[in-house]
Structures are given as C-alpha cells and as structure tokens.
Structure 1
Amino acid sequence: MILRPATRADLPAVLALLADEDEVVDPASVTVTPAYARAFTDIEADPRNEILVLVDGGPDGELVVGCLQATYIPGLGKGGAERALLEAVRVRADRRGGGLGRALLDGAIARARARGCGLVQLTSNKERTEAHRFYASLGFARSHDGFKLSL
C-alpha cells in the first residue's frame, strides 16, 4: 500500500469513495463536474490542503482503496502550532477490516507530525458508530461537540 497526494487522475476514484459509504461505486460511473474539478484544482494549489489516497498497486494496476482530505490550520492555540483537520475519511466498502483505515490514518498523522502540527482532529457523522470505535482505537478522544450551519 502506498499513501500519496491524489492526482487529477485519482479524482473519479475519490469521488466514488465519497459517493456511498456502504457500497463500492465504479469510478467510471462518476461524473467529474466542473465544480468538482475546480475544487480539486483549488485544493491541489493550496499548500495547506491535500487529498491523500491509499493505493493498492496490485497486478491489475493501481486501485485507490482509501482517501481523506487534510487541511492544515494555523492558530494561536498549542503554542502557535498548526493543527491538522482530517475530513472525508473513506476506505472502500469491500476492503474494510484489513488494516487499511489504520494505514491511511497513521500515514496522515505522520504527515501532520512532520509538518510540526500540535494536534490532529477529525469530524465524523454521529451515526457512524463503527467509525467512532475505530477512531478511539487510534487514540482519538471525543473532546468537543461540533456544530454545522448549512448555507
């Protein structure tokens, strides 16, 4: 398994992972709209943002089996250290339970540590109880309640 920044060619596979948490979506069936392409271009150009993909380099070529978005946020807390916000964490539905999620998050945490981040935080839908147990097994603590306002 290889963890690396996503390329434009990975975008359909990433969108397929985000399309349905419980089913495998064929990346060839995903439409990369201009809005998705623009968002990816903006993320790729921003040194404080990255989409990371976990890739299985099997005999049939590369297969994106996991992804997440990391945003590095400057702040005055934690002695002025950046914090890493991890979002859109996904592992292919048919590949869960084999350590890929751990590899994905361990790699993202290592990247945050290498940047000098003082904290890694993530958000997760309250209904994803299995994901919450997984995050807790990695050492993440439920320390805050989050709020969102759709615009």
Structure 2
Amino acid sequence: MIFREATRQDLPAVLALLADEDTVLDPASLVVGEAHERAFAAIGADPRNEMLVLTDGPSRTGEAAEADEVVLGCLQLTYIPGLGRDGQERALVEAVRIRADRRGSGLGAELMRLATERARARGCGLVQLTSSKRRTAAHRFYERLGFARSHEGFKLHLEP
C-alpha cells in the first residue's frame, strides 16, 4: 500500500469514491467538471489542505507506475489554526472513503492511522471529523478508532 498526496491523475478515482460509497464506480465513467478541477487545484495550492490517497502500490517504478495504481481510499486533511488548546492546530478530516469492495480489510483503519500520524507530526493537538447521521457503520468505525462523540454538528447550505 502507498499513502501519498493525490495527483491530478487520481481525481477521477477520488470522485468515484465520493460519488457512491456503496458501489465501485469506474472512474472513467465520471465527468470531471471545471468546478472539480478548480477545487482540486485550490486544495493542492493551499499549504493547510491535503487530498490524500491510499493505493495498491505500483507494479513498476517511475511515472508509469502511478497509472497502474488503483486508488483504494481517500481523505482530505485541513489544518486549522486556533487559539484554544494552547494555540495548537487541529486537523479536520473530510471525505473519508474506502472502495466498497475493499471495506472490512483494515484499509480504513490504516488510512485514518496514517492521517492521524501526519497531523501529529505537524504538531496538531486534535483530529476532528463530522459524519452524516445516516452513516451509522462509519460512526462505529470511528468509535473503534478512539474518536469520541463530543459535539453536535450543524450545517447551513448556502445556495449560489
């Protein structure tokens, strides 16, 4: 397994993971829109944001190897400065997904472990996330990893 920052080449696979968490979608069947391109570029350009992927690893070395990798999971880490917790940054974890056909194999736990290590190495004092109330299996997963239900979350959708 390889844990690394996502490249533009990974974008269709990441979108496939985010589009349907219960089915394995062919990344080639998805349209990568201009808004996706802008968002991906903005994440890559922002030192406080990382889109990370877990892949099955290359069968060869070099640039051609990345084309052979299968993206098995993804997440976005955003580092947030704050005055609380003695001024320590916190890491916000978003868009956590593991391919539907690979769930239950420990990949999700490994992805979260690697992300938590990355946040700790950066000096973060807290890793936080939100999860849709309907994702009860994900809630059990996060609790098994040691995450505690500490807050009630609220969202306000803004229409353009």
- Where do 5+ consecutive residues of structure 1 fail to align? none
Map of 2:87 onto structure 1: 80
Which secondary structure state, in structure 1, belongs to the residue aligned with residue 70 of structure 2? strand
In structure 1, how many angstroms separate the alpha carbons of the residues matched to 2:120 and 2:101?
Answer: 30
In structure 2, how many angstroms separate the alpha carbons of the residues matched to 1:104 and 1:123?
Answer: 16
Offset of residue 61 of structure 1:
2.4
Offset of residue 112 of structure 1:
0.1
Question: Alignment partner for residue 133 of structure 2, among 109, 126, 133?
Answer: 126
Which secondary structure state, in structure 2, belongs to the residue aligned with residue 70 of structure 1? strand
Distance 1:9 1:58, change over 3 A: closer
Identity %: 72
Map of 2:52 onto structure 1: 52
Map of 1:135 onto structure 2: 142
Which amino acid counterpart does residue 15 of structure 1 have in structure 2? L
For the aligned residue pairs, the C-alpha RMSD in angstroms reads 1.1
Which amino acid counterpart does residue 31 of structure 2 have in structure 1? T
Which secondary structure state, in structure 2, belongs to the residue aligned with residue 57 of structure 1? coil
Offset of residue 11 of structure 1:
0.3
- Structure-2-length-normalised TM-score: 0.92
Question: Alignment partner for residue 106 of structure 1, among 96, 106, 113?
Answer: 113
- Equivalent pairs, count: 151
Query: After alignment, is 54-63 or 137-146 more displaced?
Result: 54-63
Greater strand share, structure number: 1
1:34 matches 2:41: no
- Structure-1-length-normalised TM-score: 0.98
1:70 matches 2:84: no
Map of 2:62 onto structure 1: none
Map of 2:6 onto structure 1: 6
1:27-74 deviation line (CA, Å, top 9, x unaligned): 001111010000000000000001000000265921000000110000
- Where do 5+ consecutive residues of structure 2 fail to align? 60-66
1:18 matches 2:18: yes
* Runs of 4+ with >4 A deviation: none
Map of 2:64 onto structure 1: none
Question: Alignment partner for residue 97 of structure 1, among 96, 99, 104?
Answer: 104
